[in-house]
Amino acid sequence: MPGLLGKKIGMTSVFSADGKNIPCTVIEVGPCVVTQIKTVENDGYAAVQLGFQEKKEKHTNKPEAGHFKKAGVAPMRHLAEFKSFTEVPELGATITVDIFQEGGFVDVVGTSKGKGFQGVVKRHGFGGVGQRTHGQHNRLRAPGSIGACSYPAKVFKGMRMAGQTGNERVTVQNLQVIKVLPEHNVLMIKGSIPGSKGSIVIVEK
């Protein structure tokens, strides 16, 4: 799917034509530069690699510098590949927010906020106080039983337990584009997307 890299600015709300207050996420999308074009002959699949946000030469290692020099572009901080571009752009071309249309639908990929090591109540929605689960009766927010004893005598894979929560790649599908502001490279999308303010996201058509 064709798309662009962007930065989450924050959330706001806009009023629709019929007076409803719609929550929106503001994303600064692009401009992205084409840093590599992958072909079936050379790479085994067709894709377009895009770069977002320039960085200084001193923060670029030698292999990266050679990669960007070959494309004839400045070093980029973030790279991502996109497939199925209807028209394959030229190497070094700039792609802007204009590829999105108001009223269209997009998928957004981001990294969710990290919550650290969390228990089963926060992580999996176990009952906790007042709705004690899995047979336990005096430990409130504890997970309770994690399996039978003599048979099967093991803990099954996928058993919901406490652990690291958040800070993982999350895709939210079919979010409506409320407004496109090409002069500011801004996209306003209905609803929320994963990640903190300032985090890098991928917006796909």
What is the residue-level pLDDT of the chain in tens, covering all 205 positions? 799 999 999 999 999 999 999 999 999 998 999 999 999 999 999 999 999 999 999 999 999 999 999 999 999 999 999 998 878 889 999 999 999 999 999 999 999 999 999 999 999 998 877 776 666 677 788 888 899 999 999 999 999 999 999 999 999 999 999 999 999 999 999 999 999 999 999 999 8
Level-2 CATH architecture, domain 3-115+171-204:
Beta Barrel (2.40)
In whole angstroms, what separates CA 180 from the centre of its chain? 19
Domain ranges of the chain: 3-115+171-204, 119-165
38-44: long-range contacts, CB 8 A cutoff, minimum separation 24: 38/81
- Distances from the Cα of 177 to the Cα of 53, 69, 86, 124, angstroms: 23, 35, 20, 31
* Strand partners for 164: 117
Rounded-to-integer distance, Cα 53 and Cα 185, Å? 13
pLDDT of residue 132: 65
Composition of the chain by helix, strand, coil, percent to 5:
15, 40, 45
What pLDDT, on the 0 to 100 scale, is given for residue 139? 76
Nearest to 4 by CA among 175, 186, 168: 186
Q: What's the confidence (pLDDT) of residue 133?
A: 63
Residue 174 neighbours by CB distance under 10 Å: 10
Q: What is the pLDDT of residue 13?
A: 96
